[in-house]
Amino acid sequence: MNVGMLWFDNDPHTALAAKVSRAADYYRQKYGLVPDLCLVHPSMLGERRDLVEAQTGKVAIRPNRAILPGHLWIGTEDKN
């Protein structure tokens, strides 16, 4: 993903799925597009650190060390 939206949510009491859902809703309202990919810091996956990809609705969640903890990089996956 080369273009997306950076979303910050460091609330430790909110599940990652809820954070991604909120970010996806905002992305749809703001840009009129449906996101399908969310990159997060591996530490945000909690105990499931071996997880390579998870589905939250229609948004794939993938770990990426370049993303700071508490941030989500959400958008559409490049189809190249």
pLDDT, residue 47, reads: 61
| Residue extents of the structural domains in the chain | 4-59+66-75
pLDDT class for 78, splitting at 50, 70, 90? confident
pLDDT tens digits for range 2-53: 889 999 999 999 989 889 999 999 999 999 999 999 999 999 987 654 444 4
Question: What is the pTM for the complete model shown?
Answer: 0.86
DSSP 8-state class, residue 67: S
Query: In b/e form, how buried is each residue of 48-67, taking b as 16+ CB within 10 angstroms?
Result: eeeeeebebeebbbbbeeeb
